[in-house]
Copies of this chain bind each other. A is one copy, B any other.
Amino acid sequence: MKIFSDELVAEACRENNVADLGHATIGETLLVAQYLEQKTGIPFIRMDQGSPGLPVNHYGVEAEKRALDRGVGSQYPPAAGVRELKDAAHEFVKAFINVDISARSCVPTTGSVAGSFGSFIATTQRIPGKDKVLFIDPGFPIQKSQLRVLGIQWKEFDIYPYRGEGLRAKLEEEMADGTVAAIVYSNPNNPAWICLEESELKIIGEMATKYDAVVLEDLAYFCMDYRRDLGHPYEPPYVPTVARYTDNYILMLSSSKIFSYAGQRMALVCISDKLYDTYYPALKERYHDAGVFGSTLVAEILYMITSGCTASTQYGYAEMLRLSCEGKINFVEDTREYERRANKMKRIFCDHGFHIVYDKDVTMNVGDGFFFTLGYGNMDGSELASELVSYGVSAINLDTTGSKEAGVRACTSRMRDELYPVLDERMTAFNADHPL
C-alpha cells in the first residue's frame, strides 16, 4: 500500500510547480519530498540530492578560523589563488594521482561548477569552429545547463553500450568532424557510479590528442572507488586519470564530497602545464592579451566571474590537502560510510525485485559508493521515479542525466540507520503492489 495518496502527491507537485514528476530535476524532486514530509510528518527516504551526509572536515574549519583571525578577509585574494593552496594542490595531485602539475597551473574556483563553467568558455573559444562540448553520459545535468546559459552547443552519448574498446569507434564517430572542443565526464561517475578503467581513459586521451579536444575530468568523488585501496599518499595504486594519456586535460578537484565541504564552495582546476602554456590566436584577438590558455582562463575569464575565491576557504582547503599528503587526514576512510550505506540499500532494493542498472565496469562489478542506479522490471524511469515517491522514496529519473537506460539514480548521502527497516517495509509494499 502506498504511503502517500495519489491526490496528496498531485497536490505536492501542483504547489511546487512541478509539471512532470517523472522527469523532475533534483531540485523539483526535493521540493516535493519536503512538502510531503512537512505536510504529513512522515519521513522520506531522501535519495534525491547528492549533498554530503557527513560532518564537515574539522581541520578545514580550524584553518579557516585561523585565517579569518589573521585578517585575510579584507584583501582581494590573488586571481590565481593563494600560494599555500596552489602549493598544496600541486603536492596532492602528485601524491594521489602521481601526475606532475605545477603549482602555477592549479587554480581555485568557487566550486567545480565555476571550474567547468570557466573551462567551457575557454575551451570553446580557443579555436574558431571547434566549439562543441561532448558529454560521455550519464552525467551531471548542471553542466548541460551551464551550456544553455552560455549558448554553447553540445553532443552526448550514453556510454552503457560502449564500454571498453567499443568506446574508440564511438568517439571517432562523434569527433571526426573536428568540432568537439571539450570532452566531459566524471569518474567515479555521477549518477551511475561506474568507473572508467585505464584502458578506456587511454582511448579518451588518445582521441583528445588526435582531435585537439580538452578533456574536463571531474574528480568530485576522488578516491571514492572503494573497491581499490586508493588514498595512500605517494603509494600505488594511484587514481586512474586521462592525464597519463594526453596533455589536453583539466582535472577538477572539488572539496565538497571528499572533505564534506560543499557549503564553503571551493574546488580547483588543475590544468595540464602544456595546455596552460599553449598560445591561441583566437584568445589573443578576443581578450587583447597574450592569448596563452592558462593565463587567459585565469585573468580574463575566471577573474571576471568571481574575482578570486573566498580567502579563508582557500586556506582551509590548503590545510586539508596538505594534511592528506602527510597522512594525517584519511579522506577515504572518512567517507567510506557511503560504501556501507550503498551496500545495505542496494541489498534491500534487490531483495524486493529491483536490479542495478549500471552494474558493471569493463573488468569488475560496479562498486558501492555515493550513488547507485535502480531499475524495476520493465518500468521506465519516469514511472519508477513517480511511483517511488508514493512509497516515500525520492530519486531522479536516469533520463535527466543523459542515460538511455530505464531507471533512477539513488544517492546514499542522506541515509540514516533508523531508516533501513523503514525502507525495507516500504519496498516490501512496493513489490507486493507491483508484481514482477
B75 touches A51 (CB 8 A): yes
B149 touches A263 (CB 8 A): no
B51, B261, B303, B311: the one contacting A263 at CB < 8 Å is: B311
A148 touches B74 (CB 8 A): no
A75-B52 contact given A264-B311, A306-B306, A307-B113, CB 8 Å threshold: yes
Chain B residue numbers with a CB within 8 Å of A72 are 56, 263
Chain B residue numbers with a CB within 8 Å of A370 are none
B52 touches A114 (CB 8 A): no
Which bucket holds chain A's interface residue count?
Answer: 35 or more
Nearest residue, chain B, Cβ from A142: B304
B71, B260, B311: the one contacting A55 at CB < 8 Å is: B71
Task: Report Cα–Cα, A266/B68, bound state, in Å.
Answer: 15
A362 contacts B by Cβ under 8 Å: no
B305 touches A117 (CB 8 A): yes
A73 contacts B by Cβ under 8 Å: yes
Chain B residue numbers with a CB within 8 Å of A373 are none
A69 contacts B by Cβ under 8 Å: yes
Nearest residue, chain B, Cβ from A144: B304
Chain B residue numbers with a CB within 8 Å of A260 are 73-74
* Those of A279-310 within 8 Å (CB) of chain B: 286-287, 290, 299-301, 303-310
A113 touches B305 (CB 8 A): yes
A265 contacts B by Cβ under 8 Å: yes
B51 touches A76 (CB 8 A): yes
Q: 5 shortest A-B CB distances, which residue pairs?
A: A263-B311, A56-B73, A56-B74, A110-B306, A73-B263
With A17-B290, A110-B305, A148-B304 known, 11 other A-B pairs at CB within 8 A are A56-B74, A61-B68, A61-B73, A64-B73, A74-B262, A77-B263, A110-B306, A114-B305, A142-B304, A145-B304, A265-B309
